[in-house]
Amino acid sequence: MTSLDEIADIPRNLAVANPPSRFAICSVEDDGGDGFLLGWGIATTDRVHVYSVEDNMTGQLGSLNAIGYLFGEAHEIVWIDPRPEGLDGPG
């Protein structure tokens, strides 16, 4: 029979093996002017969750490439935690 501790170990081990990483989405100005924060998110090797700071927009994406569809191409990903290994897309 499986104990509750053994059942709790399953998601705990998954989280340790694939921890989420935090990042910021910043604007990039062509004229060299000051950029600004567009949003933020967390990512694992197979999922990206993003949150806009102004438009109250959120999304669950399959890769970093899709962030350009939401925030435009003039953005930069700034990692707070180490980028997950195997995650698709720039940044």
User: Which one, of 88, 78, 84, 58, lies nearest residue 70 by Cα?
Assistant: 58
Question: What are 3's two structure tokens?
Answer: 């104990």
Hunting for tokens 């399959």 — which residue is that? Answer: 62
pLDDT, residue 39, reads 95
The pLDDT tens digits for 13-59 are: 887 877 889 999 998 877 767 788 999 999 988 889 999 998 788 89
